[in-house]
Amino acid sequence: EADIYQTPRYLVIGTGKKITLECSQTMGHDKMYWYQQDPGMELHLIHYSYGVNSTEKGDLSSESTVSRIRTEHFPLTLESARPSHTSQYLCASRRDSNYGYTFGSGTRLTVV
């Protein structure tokens, strides 16, 4: 049973649209992360948060933005989607550095 939820699972959207990918966890974890995974490729960290009102950019540059207004919620927003944003986006969380990461099922985004 998943404790971290991502919606939608699949999204096809036109160029220029604004989209928000949702990520919620029920475990009370302070640390949350967004990874981007292109087909057949490894995952790259694009955003992370260590708690409410904390957001940082990850190793891979991304045009997306994130917010952390509540502990359990870590949405990712693209103000103007482009075909280059087509990818799978995976959200993860963990309690602290001594614990493993729990991943959501991902959102597969296609921009046409």
- The residues binding another protein (CB under 8 A) are 6, 31, 33, 35, 40-45, 48, 56, 58-59, 90, 92, 96-98, 100-106, 108
CA distance 48 to 86: 20
Of residues 70 and 96, the one with the C-beta less far from another protein: 96
CA distance 93 to 14: 30
Q: Smallest distance, Å, CB 16 to another protein?
A: 27
Angular region, 62: left φ>0, alpha ψ -120 to 50, beta rest: beta
Do the beta carbons of residue 74 and residue 34 sit within 8 Å?
Answer: yes
Of residues 84 and 98, the one with the C-beta less far from another protein: 98
Of residues 30 and 72, the one with the C-beta less far from another protein: 30
Q: Smallest distance, Å, CB 91 to another protein?
A: 8
